[in-house]
């Protein structure tokens, strides 16, 4: 029998063979990595048996806790049938049933589901669908083949998704590979680019967006936006009514509205989808992350019958959407995604979440008094705490100071796993997190910020 590798052996092999995402590997090789072996509920457990609260939902994917029995059973049951069969020319029961369920819970008007593997590909598909749709709907009007997006946007790491992104740290090196886009200032109220104050500003940041749509609607295929909260931008929330106004403008100027619900979907904002807060139905919606409750890679792009019909025609018209993935409609992923939605219903996840959201707000609020906390931003179970070097002037810490990273290491020593975005500390726990666990997370977060300030 092969002997189980020790923690030290695993660390050595990790340093020798692996390349981690969004990680400066020179520094990684000098730090002591944490190797997670198991999980249970809101906890991650390392190879030494130490338990850590999962304050990031394992990067925003886990909803009902680790090793949920319903999800475990669904995966094992499907494995007894088949792990995968191609979706090209074939179909399978879990993919069919899941599509029906997704349309049942999606914003009214979305009626078709196109499967893929992750959030980036779901966005990529939406972009390609939008461009091809306009080509086929009205070819005589000239190309509508560019996109409008917000600055600081992050929609994934494939080339199309990066093209509609705007985080220089992640994207600037790849500009030679990208297609050109139009961009507008986001509603970053804490650092308002217009130097105005909400709500007296009356969302003046939308005025330039309308001007762009008015001037460029003939060439714009779509406007892509994360609804309610720009997550990877540093948890930047949108004021009430912002998304609804964007929907109205896209309709007025005949531009498709593409919403990226990869991070905001499946209960993160307190509703199943963030669009629901303002009664908005997009033309295309990208979902992933929480789709399988954190168990399997799976994504989907949802769209309307109007857009779907733009791809119908005879074989030799070649209106087919020529896009696909080897694991499209994977039965394992679709089975556990069905179980995920079942858990939402059986455990009344969304209704039980409302009291926890209120408590999270109440417990985070006192942190605003800490000298290095500039802003606290929250939508449902998505929270960001922006650390600043100087509170009065809002002067940020230089990225070279690695302030967020250092704070996360302090929190880890206190048994809380966090993953910062620059100087913004992100807290996004599983929806199933208990009141006691949630309170403990916020206590550790506060203690860690205080420790960092006193260092």
275, 393: one domain: no
Tens of each residue's pLDDT in the chain, 455 residues: 578 999 999 999 999 999 999 999 999 999 889 999 999 999 999 999 999 999 999 999 999 999 999 999 999 999 999 999 999 999 999 999 999 999 999 999 999 999 999 999 999 999 999 999 999 988 777 789 999 999 999 999 999 999 999 998 888 999 999 999 999 999 999 999 999 999 999 999 999 999 999 999 999 999 999 999 999 999 999 999 999 999 999 999 999 999 999 999 999 999 999 999 999 999 999 999 999 999 999 999 999 999 999 999 999 999 999 999 999 999 999 999 999 999 999 999 999 999 999 999 999 999 999 999 999 999 999 999 999 999 999 999 998 999 999 999 999 999 999 999 999 999 999 999 999 999 999 999 999 999 987 77
Residue 330's nearest CA partner among 297, 302, 303, 289 is 297
d(CA 208, CA 224): 16
Last residue of a domain, one of 329, 346, 363: 346
Residue 297's nearest CA partner among 426, 119, 450 is 119
220 part of a folded domain: yes
Give the pLDDT of residue 208.
97
159, 176: one domain: yes
115, 262: one domain: yes
167, 97: one domain: yes
248, 381: one domain: no
242, 359: one domain: no
Long-range contacts of 171-174 (CB under 8 A, 24+ apart): none
Decide if 342 contacts 70 (C-beta within 8 A).
Answer: yes
169, 231: one domain: yes
CATH code where residue 286 lies: 3.40.640.10
Give the pLDDT of residue 1.
57
d(CA 143, CA 160): 17
pLDDT in tens, 139-165: 777 789 999 999 999 999 999 999 999
Range of the domain at 101: 73-346
First to last CA, the chain: 49
184 part of a folded domain: yes
3 part of a folded domain: no
CATH code where residue 416 lies: 3.90.1150.10
Which residues contact residue 216 at a Cβ distance below 8 angstroms, ignoring those fewer than 6 apart?
146, 148, 182
Furthest CA-CA distance within the chain: 70
155, 297: one domain: yes
Output the 3-class SS for 255-297. CEEEEECCCCCCCCCCCCCHHHHHCCCCCEEEECHHHHCCCCC
Last residue of a domain, one of 282, 313, 346: 346
15 part of a folded domain: no
Burial 236-257 (b: 16+ CB within 10 A, else e): bbbbeebbebbbebbeebebbb
Last residue of a domain, one of 324, 346, 368: 346
Polymer length of the chain: 455
213, 112: one domain: yes
214, 191: one domain: yes
Decide if 65 contacts 432 (C-beta within 8 A).
Answer: yes
Between helix 349-364 and helix 435-454 the angle, nearest 10°, is 30
3-state DSSP assignment of residue 215: helix
d(CA 389, CA 443): 22
7 part of a folded domain: no
> Token pair of 110, please?
């979305």
d(CA 34, CA 55): 15
426, 279: one domain: no
Domain count, the chain: 2
123, 223: one domain: yes
Give the pLDDT of residue 175.
93
Chain centroid offset of residue 432 CA: 18
14 part of a folded domain: no
Q: Which helix (H) or strand (E) holds 425?
A: strand 424-427
28 part of a folded domain: no
11 part of a folded domain: no
């Amino acid at each position: 029998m092969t002997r189980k590798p020790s923690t030290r052996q695993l660390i050595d092999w990790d340093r020798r063979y692996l390349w981690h995402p969004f990680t400066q590997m020179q520094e990684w090789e000098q730090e002591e990595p944490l190797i997670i072996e198991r999980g249970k509920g809101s906890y991650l457990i390392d190879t030494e048996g130490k338990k850590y609260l999962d304050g990031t939902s394992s990067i925003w994917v886990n909803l009902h806790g680790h090793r949920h029995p319903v999800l475990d059973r669904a995966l094992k049951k499907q494995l007894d049938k088949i792990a995968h069969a191609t979706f090209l020319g074939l179909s399978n029961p879990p993919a069919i049933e899941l599509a029906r369920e997704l349309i049942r819970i999606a914003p009214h008007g979305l009626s078709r589901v196109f499967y893929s593997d992750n959030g980036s590909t779901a966005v990529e598909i939406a972009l390609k669908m939008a461009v091809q749709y306009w080509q086929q709907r009205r070819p005589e009007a000239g190309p509508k083949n560019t996109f409008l997006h917000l600055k600081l946007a992050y929609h994934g790491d494939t080339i199309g998704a990066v093209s509609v992104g705007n985080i220089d740290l992640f994207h600037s090196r790849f500009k030679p590979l990208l297609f050109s886009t139009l961009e507008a200032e986001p509603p970053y109220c804490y650092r308002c680019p217009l130097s105005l104050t909400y709500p007296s500003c009356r969302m003046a940041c939308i005025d330039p967006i309308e001007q762009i749509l008015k001037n460029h609607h003939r060439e714009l295929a779509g406007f892509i936006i994360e609804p309610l909260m720009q997550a990877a931008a540093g948890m930047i929330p949108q004021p009430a009514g912002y998304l609804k106004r964007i929907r109205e403008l896209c309709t007025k100027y005949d531009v498709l509205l593409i919403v990226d619900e990869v991070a905001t979907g499946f209960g993160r904002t307190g509703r199943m989808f963030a669009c629901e807060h303002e009664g908005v139905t997009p033309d295309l919606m990208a979902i992933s992350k929480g789709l399988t409750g954190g168990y399997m890679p799976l994504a989907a792009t949802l769209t309307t019958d109007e857009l779907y019909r733009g791809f119908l025609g005879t074989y030799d018209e070649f209106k087919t959407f020529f896009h696909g993935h080897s694991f499209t409609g994977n039965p394992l992923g679709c089975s556990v995604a069905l179980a995920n939605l079942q858990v939402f219903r059986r455990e009344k996840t969304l209704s039980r979440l409302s009291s926890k959201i209120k408590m999270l707000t109440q417990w985070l609020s006192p942190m605003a008094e800490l000298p290095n906390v500039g802003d606290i931003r929250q939508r449902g179970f998505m929270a960001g705490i922006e650390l600043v070097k100087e509170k009065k002037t809002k002067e940020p810490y230089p990225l070279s100071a690695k302030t967020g990273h250092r704070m996360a290491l302090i929190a880890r020593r206190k048994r809380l796993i966090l993953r910062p975005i620059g100087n913004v500390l992100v807290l996004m726990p599983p929806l199933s997190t208990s009141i006691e666990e949630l309170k403990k997370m916020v206590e550790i977060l506060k203690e860690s910020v205080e420790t960092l300030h006193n260092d």
